[in-house]
Amino acid sequence: MATENKNLSVYDKATIPNAKDLRFGIVVSEWNSEITEGLFNGAVSALLDCGAVEENIIRWDVPGSYELVYGAKKMIKKHEPDAIITIGSVIQGETKHFDFVCSAAAQGIKDLNVLYDTPVIFCVLTDNTMQQAIDRSGGKHGNKGTEAAIAAIKMAVLGN
């Protein structure tokens, strides 16, 4: 696994722009909520640590990772945040459903980045096992939500 020797929660705060004047949207999948809640908590903690104001963080929940794209699109139109983090967790099963959901979520989030001027950050874990997801959502490899929050801050100020 690419994250095996990397802690996803480590960042150099001195290199991160201050987020106090930025608005963030976070769209969270309810599926595998034990994982997505850990990712959400990591993202919010990092945003606040980098100066974001709690009132400037908007959370919407959607049923699953497939629905993240629609939720993010609607959030862009309704709230005009400076960046959106999409949080999901898809764990390999015995059918091809995993492949379709992962591909649709990745392609849809990519499409939002092409269509809109709001950066949409991909924080969807696509793991083979529940243990891998646990390890990347606050476990031994840190928290991918933290990494996504840092990416959101950097992308929100890109070009400003």
Query: Which residue of the set 77, 97, 110, 140 is catalytic?
Result: 97
Is 141 annotated in the active site?
no
Tokens of 14: 């001195």
CA distances from 94 to 53, 71, 103, 131, 154 (A): 42, 28, 17, 17, 38
Residue 68 CA to residue 55 CA, distance in Å, equals: 22
Give the integer Cα–Cα distance in Å for 56 and 72.
Answer: 16
Instruction: Sort 4 into a burial class: Cβ within 10 Å, 0-12 / 13-18 / 19+.
Output: exposed
Beta strand 142-143 with 137-139 is: antiparallel
Residue 84 — φ and ψ, nearest 5°? -125, 140
Q: Which residues are catalytic?
A: 97
